Amino acid sequence: MRSIRPSKKGEAFVVNRTMNQINRRESLFRLGTSLGGIASAALLAQDARSTEAMLAQDARSSDGAEGPMSPKIGHFPAKAKNCIFLMMEGGPSHIDTFDPKPALDKLHLKEFTREGEMKSAMESGKRYYVASPFKFAKYGESGAAMADNWSHLSSVADELCFYRGCQVDSVNHPTAMYQMNCGDRFGGDPGIGSWVTYGLGSENQNLPGFLVLPEVSYPQGGAANWSNGYLPAFYQGTPLRAKGSPILDLQPPPGITSARQRANLDFLSQVNADHAAKHPDHDDLNARMESYELAFRMQMEVPDAVDLSGEDAKTLAMYGIGGGATDSFGRKCLLARKMVEKGVRFVQLYNGSWDSHDYIERAHGNLVRGVDQPIAALITDLKQRGLLDSTLIVWCGEFGRTPDNGVRGGVAYGRDHNPNAMTIWMAGGGCNAGHTIGATDETGTNAVENVHHVRDFHCTLLRLLGLDDNKLTYYHAGRFKQLSQFGGKVIHDLIA
């Protein structure tokens, strides 16, 4: 075949070689910059649509209803239908809560060097080992080890499955929060609740499928911790306000009837539908239309769902509501129970300030005092109502803590960030209750038994809810993406 080359200055460049001389790199380059590239992209997009259609078929609506949040069938028989995720922002110390390290009693205030040589560090200003200020005991028939200031949670010790083998990648709060909540350290990915509702929908179409109960100050990383990321906007987490009315402007202004609202929404829906027909790829518009409809339906359901005045005095007292330190988190836990009872698929609760670099006895002591009773009440209440078996509860932070810290006046003992060892526990929802899985070394520095990256824990959480991480994918930016980023293993020891 004859070669082709430009004949005049300014003409488009054409490679001056025969076709059988084109190398592999150039061939691939031409494919990506020609009609062949367009055709290839079209085939990939078609494949993506086919895969999503297969997923939709596998996860079709169980009652034939339309809509992105309608209940869907998962990939496996689910052990749990709902999830309540208790996020202790800041990194709770496993060494001072659920993973006792008596070896630290002998090492207390001993400096350690790279060679392991130890000496007194009270006046050195260097790093030193810190013993836990809390005493530990074993509770329940399972003999679960817990710091003795968990006086309420210890009463439900046999409902808990402790996992001490988890590791993460970051010691930076925002990136570690993103990885625990979204599977990736850099933000922009969907939250766990978004993936769950994408795969399963929700049982109540009058409430959001993914609800978030944050602190007044959002956690490090902000609302990206419960973002829908690249998933359609339907699956974004909906935060409730930490103080005052959980949702503002829930009721229409005086004089606006439901019939008038419905007429306005119908007109707006028609205008938006006409616009959407001209711009079919604008998912945000479809999500906004669905949000208007959801807000209208929520006016009937939400007032009762967020109203705690209907609960009896015994229940309020059990959660510690009205009891000072326990009031705030107690309200969140009771709201979570009510939401799960009404069919909300995924509820995430935040409790902050666990970043105890100093005064750990005081800091962790106050924090445990605020969440201990409400969490125990949540487990007890769900069990009494027959909901614990179908509700998976997860407790964790974004990483663990080190067994050492720098000198801070010789008395303000605390701990630094540790991505290599942490404790997560679960309750209900098919977890292996009454067992402690995995272990850390004698100082709590590293996980050494049944060690898994957090991606494997995410895969396990999805499996308990009936979802396969390898099948729960979404085509974005040229590839299929998933919660684990690139696949993980189910930790079967955590499943009953």
Q: What is the pLDDT along the chain (496 residues), one digit of tens a residue?
A: 434 344 444 433 333 333 445 555 545 444 444 444 433 333 443 444 344 444 443 444 444 446 889 999 999 999 999 999 999 999 999 999 999 999 999 999 888 654 444 454 444 557 889 999 999 999 999 999 999 999 999 999 999 999 999 999 999 999 999 999 999 999 999 999 999 999 999 999 989 999 999 999 999 999 999 999 999 988 999 999 887 767 666 666 777 776 776 677 677 777 877 777 877 776 666 766 666 666 656 666 676 778 898 999 999 999 999 979 999 999 999 999 999 999 999 999 999 999 999 899 999 999 999 999 999 999 999 999 999 999 999 999 999 999 988 655 556 789 999 999 999 999 999 999 999 999 999 999 999 999 999 999 999 999 999 999 999 999 999 999 999 999 999 999 999 9
Q: Show the tokens assigned to 35.
A: 């009609």
In whole angstroms, what is the distance from residue 237 CA to residue 208 CA? 8
Closest CA to 464 of 62, 61, 81, 199: 81
- Written as one letter, the residue type at 243 is K
- HSE (CB half, 13 Å, CA atoms) of 259? 0
In whole angstroms, what is the distance from residue 156 CA to residue 151 CA? 10
Closest CA to 177 of 161, 189, 164, 195: 189
Q: Is 359 exposed, middle or buried (0-12, 13-18, 19+ CB in 10 A)?
A: middle
In whole angstroms, what is the distance from residue 335 CA to residue 344 CA? 11
End-to-end CA distance of the chain: 68
Bridge partners (DSSP) listed for residue 239: 212
Closest CA to 210 of 340, 323, 384, 387: 340
In whole angstroms, what is the distance from residue 181 CA to residue 183 CA? 6
In whole angstroms, what is the distance from residue 496 CA to residue 493 CA? 8
Q: Show the tokens assigned to 124.
A: 């050195």
The second-level CATH assignment, the architecture, of 51-245+302-494 is: 3-Layer(aba) Sandwich (3.40)
Q: Show the tokens assigned to 153.
A: 């949670």
In whole angstroms, what is the distance from residue 388 CA to residue 371 CA? 19
